[in-house]
A and B are shown apart, each in its own frame.
Chain A
Amino acid sequence: MMMENTQSEQYQKLTQELRRGILVLAALSQLEEEKYGYSLISSLAEQGLDIEQGTLYPLLRRLEDQGLLKSEWNTEGSRPRRYYQISSEGSQVLGNLTEEWRNLTNVMEKLLAGISS
């Protein structure tokens, strides 16, 4: 039982690590149009990628600090919301990361082709 728990914890950590690497690319890809935090989470979830709020909000801040996103408060709705949109620098990075991702998935498909699930 103990062993099973440890294994499942380990699996969870590995999955988290694997997903962490793609979050930046996923977020940037959805911010051609401006979105606020919850709308971005919903949009990603609708397409099959669940991100925890506690992970996404700090990530958006970090990307903004790095100049890849720009943000502003919008007070027109029912409550003030902070909207994020990709910057021109962010678009460039998104292009490069997308290319990198495609190369990686090609390679990984080849590497994993012989493995039975």
Chain B
Amino acid sequence: MSLLDRYIHEVGRFLPRKKRGSIQAELRSSVIDTLEGRFGPDPDRDQVAEILLELGKPRDVAASYHPRGQYLVGPGLFPLFQMIAWIVVAAVLGAQLLAFGVSVFIAGEPFSALETITSLVSSVPTALGWVLVTFMIMQYFDAKPYLEEEPWDPKALPDRNPEENLKKGELIFGLVFGILFLVLLTLFPQWVGFITTPGGKFFPNPVILNYLVLIQISLLANILMDIYLLWKGSWTFLTRMIKMALEAFGVVILAFLIQGHNVWLAGKGSPGFSAWISAIESNNWELVGMHAFRLAFVVAFIVTVIEIATTIFRMIRSKMAGDVSARDFVLKVE
């Protein structure tokens, strides 16, 4: 195989299959033309090497035939890829630790450091691999997740008042916990409950199991919404409304859960909120646990309702503040 053949073959290795043959043929004929033009019809090996050296490394020559560059994930998709990758790593690590916690502390399985580390080391790259494969496919099909890019209007830049700024840390924290909780409910629904006596048997909460699907839907919707919010970077009227609708959905589920606990506790003859004292006195830990769950749901219910009310209040206030400042501006201009 001549030096030129070897060079052309090597360039071909890095070329797209569709155009490989034609580019190789053209490159060969051009190099021979150059050799003839400079050294006559019979160039020696050193002269061939000189021309090939001028042409450049095979990999670089092939790369110059890729008009849009060679990327697994290009600059357009990279910020989104980076964000999703971090969320996935946090969620996978959290889920692993949670699963580990459940198996050791609740199921009472023996602790194996090696197994824990092995599963951590293998699960993170696997999850990242899937994210990468998804983005590679998006890159291949030239997917454009930023729909608002064209045509671009500077006047349409979001006017970010402090009310619209996202609290990113809070959002990621909530997101990771949402994912963990969803993983827990999906993989180990039987482990949502409590231990009736120290070292005693585990009692899965029957009311939560009843509303499992609704809880999962709510968690998933919130997770998707939080990812969308992180991607967008700020609140809009629409996202606030959707978030509120999701919170309202959460409130409804909480109401169901509280009602479910009421019915269960009434069925056991321990209906009222003060009945947990007599449950403690009688050492009935099943009842105490269910009372505790109900109390937690009542607190969550109140907190969520307050959150919704605060959001509505903020929206009204920011709307009014916007109107006032707009009026001030008009007055000043006049």
Q: A37–B65 contact, CB under 8 A? A: no
A42–B30 CA distance with the chains assembled, in angstroms: 12
Say whether B65 contacts A79, CB under 8 Å.
no
Cβ contact within 8 Å between A38 and B25: no
Query: Nearest A residue to B35 by beta-carbon distance?
Result: A38
Per the bound structure, the CA–CA distance linking A53 and B55 in Å amounts to 6
Which residues on B sit within 8 Å (CB–CB) of A82? 22, 25-26, 29
- Residues in A with CB closer than 8 Å to B30 are 36-38, 53, 57
Let me know if B54 and A62 touch, CB within 8 A.
no
Interface residues as binary, B10-52 with A (CB distance below 8 Å gives 1, 0 otherwise): 0000000001001101110111111001000000000000000
Q: Given A53-B54, A53-B55, A82-B26, do A38 and B33 touch, yes or no (CB 8 Å)? A: yes
Size category of the binding interface on chain B? 20 to 34
Contact B65 A61 (CB under 8 A): yes
| A55 touches which of B22, B29, B32, B64 (Cβ 8 Å) | B64
Q: Name the distance in Å between B11's Cβ and chain A's nearest Cβ.
A: 10
Once the chains bind, are B32 and A57 in contact (CB under 8 Å)?
Answer: no
Chain B residue nearest to A56 in the complex (CB): B30
Residue of A with least CB distance to B32: A79
Q: Does A99 contact B (CB under 8 A)?
A: no
The reply to whether A54 and B26 form a contact with Cβ atoms under 8 Å apart is no
In the assembled complex, the Cα of A54 lies from the Cα of B26 at a distance in Å of: 12
Complex Cα distance, B146 from A116, in Å, reads: 48
Shortest distance from the beta carbon of B106 to any chain A beta carbon, whole Å: 61
Q: Which B residues touch A39, using CB under 8 A?
A: 33
**In whole angstroms, how far apart are the Cα atoms of A82 and B31 in the complex?**
13
Q: Report how far A81 CA is from B32 CA in the complex, Å.
A: 11
Q: Are B27 and A57 in contact (CB under 8 A)?
A: yes
Query: Can you list, as one digit per residue, whether each of A47-83 has a CB less than 8 Å from chain B (1) or not (0)?
Result: 0000011110110011001000000010000011110
B25 surroundings in chain A (CB, below 8 A): 73, 80, 82
In the bound assembly, the distance between CA atoms of A22 and B332 in angstroms comes to 51
Question: Could you show 13 A-B contacts with beta carbons less than 8 Å apart?
Answer: A36-B29, A38-B34, A38-B37, A42-B37, A52-B54, A52-B55, A52-B56, A53-B30, A54-B54, A54-B64, A61-B23, A62-B67, A73-B25
Q: Residues of B at under 8 Å CB distance from A?
A: 19, 22-23, 25-27, 29-34, 37, 54-56, 60-61, 64-65, 67
Besides the contacts A37-B33, A61-B65, what 7 more A-B pairs have beta carbons closer than 8 Å? A36-B30, A38-B37, A52-B56, A53-B30, A54-B56, A79-B32, A82-B25
Residues of A near any B CB (own CB < 8 A): 36-39, 41-42, 52-55, 57-58, 61-62, 65, 73, 79-82
